[in-house]
Chains A and B, each alone.
Chain A
């Protein structure tokens, strides 16, 4: 069975610091998708990124970047120059073969960015 581990339950940083959120996954399947979602205090889930197992290219989107490493089964998320508005719970998720029925979420990391 697949598993997603977000070992960092809570992280606090001061504004403008860089912060990396860790995500380690377990699966024996070769075809899978990885996701990151942001959940701000208002509660909704905001989609951030989707990656399939055949695409190990790292991605940068503004202050956000993602490092996908199959060798270590990790899909880490870095926020550069953090801002107070980045304060949220961040979820990593794994889907086998891209199936919603095979979607597993990590337990989430609460990020607090202090002014």
Chain B
């Protein structure tokens, strides 16, 4: 089944403790992206990657890092999480260099709480 898999689904952590949220897709998609969802704000893009070793900042990149060493994986790294990063996170992927006119597949989400 074609899908984007995020792990973990739920995570509670403490301020300052480094964490990684994994994202993997099995569709050989070039484009991958991370979003955060906050009440009243919809989804906002954190980082995106056009292909292996090609990443760039989205609209809200502060406090996050990403890497794209393999086509299928796009982990989101929080080096020193803070409470304002408590949010619902989504990974997404698409073929065709980020053209989503034919489809954009989202993962199931990771609910992160930083205390």
- Which A residues fall within an 8 A CB radius of B? 4, 9, 33, 35, 43-45, 47, 50, 52, 91, 93, 95, 98-101, 103-108
Contacts and interface: CB of A to CB of B under 8 A. Distances in A.
Interface stretch (B15-23, B68-76, B78-86, B99-107): B99-107
Nearest to A100: B98
Nearest to B107: A44
Chain B at the A interface: SS class = strand
Contacts of B100: 33, 95, 98-100, 103
B106 A100 contact: no
Contacts of A104: 42
Interface of B: 31, 33, 40-45, 48, 58, 88, 90, 92, 94, 98-101, 103-104, 106-109, 111
14 contacts: A9-B40, A33-B101, A43-B88, A43-B108, A44-B108, A45-B106, A98-B101, A100-B94, A100-B98, A101-B98, A103-B45, A103-B100, A107-B42, A108-B42
